Structure 1
Amino acid sequence: MSAQRRQLLKQLLKSLNVVLVALLMYNLWRHKWTKVNFN
């Protein structure tokens, strides 16, 4: 595997991590809001 390809893969994994974290935060935030609205 070439170094360039490895770099690309690293960047892809990093962006994927960011997306996963963002989704998790969004889910937690939405869950909190539904709880607040129901109370």
Structure 2
Amino acid sequence: MIPGQIDRAASHGCIRLANWDVVRLATKIKSGDNVSIH
């Protein structure tokens, strides 16, 4: 992933997050939780 493209729409439904954001998100949710991205 190119860091400058993290906040840009570039696919059909994929979510682009930096590694550190994924780690933070993973600490906030558990398996089976529903997540809604707006």
Tell me the TM-score normalised to structure 1 length. 0.30
Greater RCO, 1 or 2 (C-alpha within 8 Å, sep 6+): 2
Larger radius of gyration: 1
